[in-house]
Amino acid sequence: MRVIDGNAIDSASSHAPTEWAAINWRRVQKNVRVMQIRLTKATQEGDWRRVKSLQRWLTHSFSAKALAVKRVTENQGKRTTGVDRQLWETPSRKFAAIAQLEKRQYRPLPLRRVYIPKANGKERPLGIPTMKDRAMQALHLLALDPVLETVSDPNSYGFRKNRSTADAMSQIFVRMSQRTSAQWVLDADIEGFFDNINHDWMIDHVRMDKSILRKWLKSGVVDWAQLLATTAGTPQGGIISPALANWTLNGLETELIEHLCVRFGPSKFQKLKVGVIRYADDFVVTGASQELLETEIRPWIEAFLARRGLRLSQAKTKIVHIDQGFDFLGWNFRKYEGKLLIKPSKKNVKAFYEKLRKIIGEQLMAKQEDLIRLLNPMLRGWAQYHSPVVAKQAFSYMQSLMFWRLMRWAKRRHPKKPTDWIRKKYWRKIGDRSWVFAVDVATKEGGKGVMELYSLAGTTIERHRKIKGDYHPYDPQCEEYGEALRQERMLKSMSYRKEWAKLYFDQRGLCALCGYEMNLDTGWHDHHMEYRVMGGSDALGNRVLLHPNCHKQVHSLGLKVVKPVPV
């Protein structure tokens, strides 16, 4: 038994690692994944007694605890503290934290409440748990997620592996694009979803350790130095909160369809053209008629939500015809002369422009290259989000607004200079494109290059390939399909850095140091095995992808990385 920072670490086994750097992350991930596959099989068979046993086994394993600590100490919130103001920054603290993840005598501390601005000018409250509570949530999420994925609705797309808003958008297109498709939509909005979920319902129905769940739900929150009780809801900001939210609304699709099949019969049900598409707590329901949605489906949904302590917003929930159109997830869905077109919503375009306007206004004294470096990720991200829909017009409009906003930025910097002088200083002709906001910069090789503002109008529009509704990330039978889907989407998301895509596929998606998988959540760094300062080249043969934390270890400890052999 070793003691680190006052915590006992069980190292009786000769195979047990004795420090953080000695953990074999590939073995850790494999151990956890094997248990998650067994959990999936037990859930599919409806053997809930075995599910409970496997969950207990997983949450008591060293591998799952280590993986939970790794997640909370390497994600974006690793420097955000809870009410105890503690962080796990050093390897010794991380390793000692593994021993702290014990159910016995565990009592979570209250959440620290912070507020972040919303697009409508209001504020969204977030509850920040302590590092230990975050790690406990990550640990139990490893045991809950395979069960949740097995029982989830096929057209639920929010906060699930390999599912996105684009999948929800594509499903709406499938349900409503044909001339014979449903013409009416129930555009639903749940009032105060995260604040009002009934605790008793969650404790009775969520398939996880009841005592742990009860402690999280009743832990309280510290708001403006005042301790408040939590009698309902699940706080936004916790690692496990999205999973609990998805569990709460699971059955909205499958149970509604089952109810309608019993009510009208299987043959007549097909003529009702009912479909439920949900992303987290936002959902729409399609139907053949306004009367069906108003008198049959909406009352059923209200009763479904009431059992969970929830209700529809009377002001925001509406039933509309597809020719009138509706907004969902930042897009507008509307038929024009029988043809369904999906465009960026006016509200989304306006909110994005206001964000850009504010940032440009705050960068009056910034260098041009710094401004471009700040704007490009925002422009690229917004463009890629809307690239699967009819967005060329919105892109051109936004680019025009950006031009005049940047012209104003330049004129405010040089109020006494003529427009032609400003144009020559900040804009140039590149190829067949004129008026490109660009600046000369030094390259890594010591030469000169050009840094230009991302071109929204040049973004390629490409149809999104929707994920299959029955895809299960923990089912070995879906592995081949899932791998092909991940590679296809990774290549698209990194189209502006295809060198990364080549390295990623050569490494089979694994970090070249620890061998643990990399994805868009973990992130990655481009590492030169022979340092550039020592004469190393930018050729792909001299580069590998590493986790950000592994990259830091390589440089701080002087570790040597061997390039993996491509498959």
* pLDDT one-digit tens code per residue, 298-353: 999 999 999 999 999 999 999 999 999 999 999 999 999 999 999 999 999 999 99
Q: Could you tell me if residue 324 is inside a domain?
A: yes
Q: Are residues 176 and 214 in the same domain?
A: no
Q: Could you tell me if residue 101 is inside a domain?
A: yes
pLDDT at 77: 78
DSSP 326-373: EEETTEEEEEETTEEEEEE-HHHHHHHHHHHHHHHHHTTTS-HHHHHH
Residue 512, pLDDT > 70, answer: yes
Q: Are residues 327 and 407 in the same domain?
A: no
Q: What is the mean pLDDT of residues 39-68?
A: 96
pLDDT at 78: 82
Q: Could you tell me if residue 9 is inside a domain?
A: no
Q: Could you tell me if residue 5 is inside a domain?
A: no
| Nearest Cα to Cα of residue 54 among 147, 137, 138, 132 | 147
pLDDT at 121: 67
Q: Are residues 269 and 250 in the same domain?
A: yes
Q: Which of 343, 375, 401 is the last residue of a domain?
A: 343
Query: Cα–chain-centroid distance for residue 302?
Result: 28
Q: Which amino acid is at 275?
A: G
CA distance 476 to 43: 14
CA distance 509 to 501: 9
Cα dist from 456 to 213, 390, 391, 404, 437, whole Å: 46, 13, 10, 15, 12
pLDDT at 470: 92
pLDDT at 8: 43
Q: What is the mean pLDDT of residues 195-208?
A: 94
Q: What is the mean pLDDT of residues 43-58?
A: 97
pLDDT at 445: 63
Q: Are residues 52 and 186 in the same domain?
A: no
Q: Could you tell me if residue 532 is inside a domain?
A: yes
Q: Could you tell me if residue 463 is inside a domain?
A: no
Residue 2, pLDDT > 50, answer: no
Q: Are residues 133 and 157 in the same domain?
A: no
Q: Are residues 158 and 291 in the same domain?
A: yes
CATH classification at residue 281 = 3.30.70.270
What tokens were used for 511?
């970090």
Q: Could you tell me if residue 470 is inside a domain?
A: no
Contact 281, 249 (CB under 8 A): yes
Number of structural domains the chain divides into:
4
* pLDDT one-digit tens code per residue, 273-298: 999 999 999 999 999 999 999 999 99
Q: Which amino acid is at 113?
A: R
Domain extent for 368: 346-458
CATH classification at residue 549 = 3.40.1800.10
Q: Are residues 534 and 544 in the same domain?
A: yes
pLDDT band at 230 (very low <50, low <70, confident <90, very high): confident
As beta bridge partners, residue 185 has: 286, 320
Residue 16, pLDDT > 90, answer: no
Contact 457, 160 (CB under 8 A): no
Global pTM exceeds 0.75: yes
Q: Are residues 326 and 406 in the same domain?
A: no
pLDDT at 166: 95
CA distance 93 to 73: 10
Q: Are residues 436 and 496 in the same domain?
A: no
Q: Are residues 370 and 426 in the same domain?
A: yes
Q: Are residues 162 and 291 in the same domain?
A: yes
* pLDDT one-digit tens code per residue, 477-501: 888 788 778 767 766 665 446 778 8
Q: Which of 317, 343, 369 is the last residue of a domain?
A: 343
CA distance 255 to 549: 44
Angle at 342 between CA 340 and CA 343, to 5 degrees: 140
Residue 394, pLDDT > 90, answer: yes
The strand pair at 275-279 and 282-287 is best described as antiparallel
Q: Are residues 355 and 417 in the same domain?
A: yes
Phi and psi at 115, nearest 5°, equal: -125, 135
Q: What is the mean pLDDT of residues 60-81?
A: 90
Q: Which amino acid is at 528?
A: H
Burial class (CB in 10 A: 0-12, 13-18, 19+), 299: exposed
CA distance 213 to 267: 42
SS3 category, 223? strand
CA distance 166 to 463: 10
Q: Could you tell me if residue 11 is inside a domain?
A: no
